[in-house]
Structure 1
Amino acid sequence: MEQLYIGADIGGTTVKLAFIKDDGSIVEKWEIPTNTESEGKSIPTDISQSIDEKLKERNIHKEAIMGIGAGAPGFVDTSSGFIHEAVNIGWKNFDFGSHLEELTGFPVWVDNDANLAALGENWLGAGKGCTELIAVTLGTGVGGGIIANGNVLNGANGTAAELGHVTVVPVGGVPCNCGKTGCLETVSSATGIVRKAKEIARSYPDSLLQTLLKNGELTAKDVFDAADDGDEAAEKVIHEVTDVLGMAIANMAIAINPEKIVVGGGVSKAGTQLLAPLEKAYRKYALKRTAEASNFGIAELGNDAGVIGGAYLVKKNK
């Protein structure tokens, strides 16, 4: 009987699920809505029921399942799967791992979603085979995952590599969902890029950004598109955002001396338009010898990074 792993990537809108083989190939992947009502209490039940249905649908015996590797966007106690807080889902002091294990009958391992994305990229993606890796996820927020000596770093209480919450604006910064102000997430996320664009557009009344703002909502993609068209205001936004992000990554790189820095998430779809100024900023701020060892790359696994990382979490712990 072929062994299978289940990867679960829990986001604020959907839960991505997949059956994955030992070599990392995906047998089937699917999504279910994330029910955040009543502080997300029904999510473990929803996951369990969905897995049950898929197992029956594909005629897969439960004995074939080696376990579930799940990622959650919050502070996770990896030894127990206890979620201290996951703001976007509504969990606070939620015993997710034990609950899901009890419902499914499968062993469950839980980690932060950005850590799972890092594991996935390290196993089969842009960081394949690296023993020292920094993975940065740029989306609505900023996530971070670190592989050091071949293992994901969790820290004393599960908050290692929370790159999005490095303070980059010490005074007068924008409030962050974490409760602090001036976090990297408030500057270099998709939300932060739009905020910065609105701020800079005020000084450029004839810019494309100002025109876009007058016509409706502005997105991070709009900013990159405007910069691609040579809009000075948009170019200034991207320069400032990547400069701050490059400095934050350079400071984190001092700790682990990475051989690869992988950038993923929705904002990374800008490709070299993001990567080129980001790498330039990183090399400006990084210790020269640290920078010499590092290569940059765009994440290769896309939306599958989390479920693949989840499968690997089971594989390495089983």
Structure 2
Amino acid sequence: MNTGPLPGGPEGTGAVVIGLDLGGTKIDAALFGADGTVLARRTRPTPAGDGSAAVLDALAAAAAEVDPDRTATALGIAAAGVVDPRTGMVTSATDSIRGWAGTALGAGLAHRTGLPVACDNDVRATAGPELAALGGEHASLLFAAIGTGVGGAVAVDGRMLHGASGMAGHIGHLPSPQAAGLPCTCGSTGHLEVIASGPGIAAHYERLTGTPVDRLETVAGRAARGNAQAVRAITTGAAAVGRVLGGLANALGPDRVVVGGGVPRIGPLYGDALAAAFTAELMPPLRGLTPVAPLFGHDAAVLGAAALTTTLTLHHPGALR
């Protein structure tokens, strides 16, 4: 299989590398040639309920599937959870993968594959190709991923920020007035994620109507038919994201603001409300900046993962002995 170089990927490194994208339901794997060409791809389910060792085993198996001849010289992984790329540890995680918090991701995967491993949070890795596409050593980026949760990434002057314990960019846990008093999955209250994520919007619709809904798409369908409470739930979540991103834009001065994930794909009702709230927050030098969709599709995380091998600390085999 040869699909040609993917933009924003690890081309030009002179090395064959593996990129892995770990989510709560599936693992995507790809083998990249020295010129960035995709040589092989595989997908397998994540054994999310079986514990961290089983997940590491599955990641190693996915790497072996795309590189049976062991041509790769390094491996990059984009992983769910809060990941500290310097230590290679998962410092915090939800229960979507059982026992994931505290996992030695870098060392554990290097031990299983025999390869040097670079690792990072999946949203930061996904944002990497967006930053590369901006070009220039001083490019700055604000990236938001709105889905089952709310994640983000921040790059300033050409450098992705990681912060203490890998926490930089977790915008879903910024305070939001629209979420005041609502409990967050992190144990605090009033955070953006509980009003702006897909489940957060659905839960807000339930609070407005007293009617349970199974998923965000149900709310979106009712909004499209003119249901006022559905419209309110969606626009409230969208405006909450817009306000937070506008404030962050004022603080960081990004060249580009990208909003991705599944929630924005429900349609213009969401996107228009987000953009209006974002614009209302901006200081004069930033007026004209508007949130845009990602440049890259489903390949972004796996190619961003492979590119990590050129920019982050490599964790080498032998550390667990």
* TM-score relative to the length of structure 1: 0.85
Query: Aligned equivalents of 2:283 and 2:276: distance in 1?
Result: 13
- Count the aligned residue pairs: 298
Aligned match of 1:154? 162
The counterpart of 2:260, out of the listed 259, 264, 268, is 264
Select which of 291, 297, 314 maps to 2:292: 297
Supply the distance in 1 between the matched residues of 2:102 and 2:263 (Cα, whole angstroms).
Answer: 31
Partner SS for 1:65: coil
Paired position in structure 2 for 1:42 = 54
Structure 1: unaligned runs, 5 residues or longer? 203-209
Question: In structure 2, what is the Cα distance between the partners aligned to 1:270 and 1:315?
Answer: 35
- CA displacement 1:193-230 (0-9 Å, x = unmatched): 1011112235xxxxxxx6xx5xxx44212323333333
- Residues 242-279 of structure 1: CA distance to partner in whole angstroms, max 9, x if unpaired? 11111111121122111211111111222433222211
Superposed displacement of residue 170, structure 1:
8.8
The Cα offsets for residues 85-104 of structure 1, whole Å up to 9 and x where unpaired, read as 22222212221101111111
Q: 1:295 to 1:170 in 2, by over 3 A?
A: closer
> What does residue range 53-202 of structure 1 map to in structure 2 within 5 Å?
53-56=65-68, 60=69, 62=70, 64-87=71-94, 88-89=96-97, 90-123=99-132, 131-169=139-177, 173-202=181-210
User: 1:264·1:302 contact (CA, 8 Å) conserved in 2?
Assistant: no
Shift of the 248–91 alpha-carbon distance from structure 1 to 2, 3 Å rule, reads: same
TM-score, length of structure 2 as denominator length: 0.84
Distance 1:4 1:258, change over 3 A: same
**Partner residue, 1:33:** 45
The counterpart of 1:311, out of the listed 295, 302, 306, is: 306
Q: Distance in 1 between matches of 2:264 and 2:180?
A: 28
Provide the secondary structure at the position in 2 that maps to 1:91: coil
**Structure 2 unmatched runs, 5+:** 1-13, 315-321
Match of 2:67, SS state, is helix
Q: Secondary structure at the match of 2:258?
A: strand
CA RMSD of aligned residues (A): 2.4
Alpha-carbon distance between aligned partners in 2 of 1:171 and 1:8, rounded to the nearest angstrom: 34
SS of the equivalent of 1:6 reads strand
Structure 1 residue identity aligned to 2:304: G
Aligned-pair distance for 1:237? 1.8
**Runs of 4+ displaced beyond 6 Å:** none
CA contact (8 A) 1:10 1:70 kept: yes
**Shift in Å, 1:284:** 0.7
The secondary structure found in structure 2 opposite 1:45 is helix
Contact kept in structure 1, 2:52 and 2:103, CA below 8 Å = no
More helix by share: 1
Distance 1:72 1:244 in 2: 26
TM-fit CA distance, 1:3: 3.1
Task: Please state whether the residue corresponding to 1:183 is helix, strand or coil.
Answer: coil
Contact preservation (8 Å) 1:265, 1:302: no
- Give per-residue Cα distances to partners, 1:292-318, cap 9 Å, x unaligned: 3x2321123233221111011113358
